[in-house]
Structure 1
């Protein structure tokens, strides 16, 4: 497995086009793997996420079985002129790919980490008798947090709790967890098999918090296979960082 980091040049017109369309960005990410066929049923899972850390710091993260080639993204949404110096300075090519498996193998029960996850928190409801069950997004921070808390055990981690004197938060949670950066993603989609365009709506939110590893095997699966729905549109990728 590999973890890739690509900094987006927000001043480029191509960046604005990609960032405004999860479908276009998904296609660009999948095009980074020349031997993969995006429409194939046996295509390995590729996860990606956009982090808006600051106005001028927008980072694309990719977790994939193979190393990507992001040359086309550098041309569209990076710094192509700087990339010409990649022979002298490999960092100038515009992205960094790291071997992810050694890190995953070191995860141990009881270790604690900071985490970030962008996800599509949904549930299935029937509004009245006789209606079909529909997938519906959780729209309040309290329910979005509960969505993640309900999945922590089977996903291999436990979200840490705050000290008793720090539990008075806006949403009344005792857990060391915040939800922010809600985006209502709306776009039209067509496929090779069905040229008819249909409207797609995805609610995405970002979770930041601290966790303890309870099941390293399950957590490795979460980190490489994703959590929740809408993985093709930038949801499901969780990353860990040392607590500091």
Structure 2
């Protein structure tokens, strides 16, 4: 597995086009591989996430089973004369994950639940729209994903169960973009709700967490959701 970091130059016209459409950016990322890895339910896949730390600093993170070549992205939307991209061997980090390790994490996800209006109607995925329900969505998946969100210091104004945890929503977005269908020239309007979570976690199942880090968490993985990254924690 590989972890890649790429810095966009938001002032370039092609960067604006890529950053405005998860569909277009996904296609550009897959073009980084001569033989794009197939996506399977239980096999490592290409995952990506955009971190918009400021209007002028937008970072793309990619995890992938194969090493990517981002030359085309550097030429079109990066900094060709000063920096390209950095790719790291991710496997040693994954292998050293151990029970009860403490890490800071970041995850952009598409929190949804299945709903239906009548008992006979098929269920359909519906987005969680409030921060409270978005946090609950992640907490409902933490055990199967191999981690536990740590508790946070309580304060007098702590109101809900999720307020007791070191779990924050850094950014929430409603994205609109066009997706080309199977028929030539047919496009479909996609609306996607995302939430970027940050917090502190404890590893409860290293193998399950390795799967989470390599196959993603939740839906809309092709559109920049599902990639969790870890960093050293101040709580460790």
Same fold (TM over 0.5): yes
Are 2:179 and 1:189 aligned?
yes
**Kept after mapping to 1: 8 A contact 2:146/2:205:** yes
Tell me what 2:131 maps to.
141
Matched, 1:229 2:219: yes
Give CA deviations for 1:184-225 in whole Å, capped at 9, x if unaligned.
11112114x333221211111100000000000000000000
Task: Specify the alignment match of 2:54 in structure 1.
Answer: 54
Cα offset for 1:45? 1.4
| 2:57 corresponds to 1:32 | no
The 8 Å contact of residues 142 and 171 in structure 1, kept in 2 or not, is answered as: no
State the partner residue of 2:6. Answer: 6
Q: TM-score, normalising length from structure 1?
A: 0.89
1:172 Cα deviation from its structure 2 partner: 5.6
Structure 1 residue 167, shift from structure 2 partner: 6.8
Is 1:110 aligned to 2:109, yes or no?
no
Is residue 167–residue 174 contact of structure 1 (8 Å, CA) maintained in 2?
A: no
Instruction: Report which stretch shifted further, 123-132 or 216-225.
Output: 123-132
Match of 1:220 in 2: 210
Deviation at 1:165, TM superposition (A): 3.6
- Superposed CA RMSD in Å reads 2.3
- Runs of at least 5 residues in structure 1 that lack an aligned partner in the other structure: 83-91
Distance 2:134 2:56 in 1: 28
2:122 pairs, out of 121, 126, 132, with 132
Q: Deviations over 1:144-164 (max 9, x none)?
A: 000000000000000001123
Aligned pair partner of 2:145 in 146, 155, 180: 155
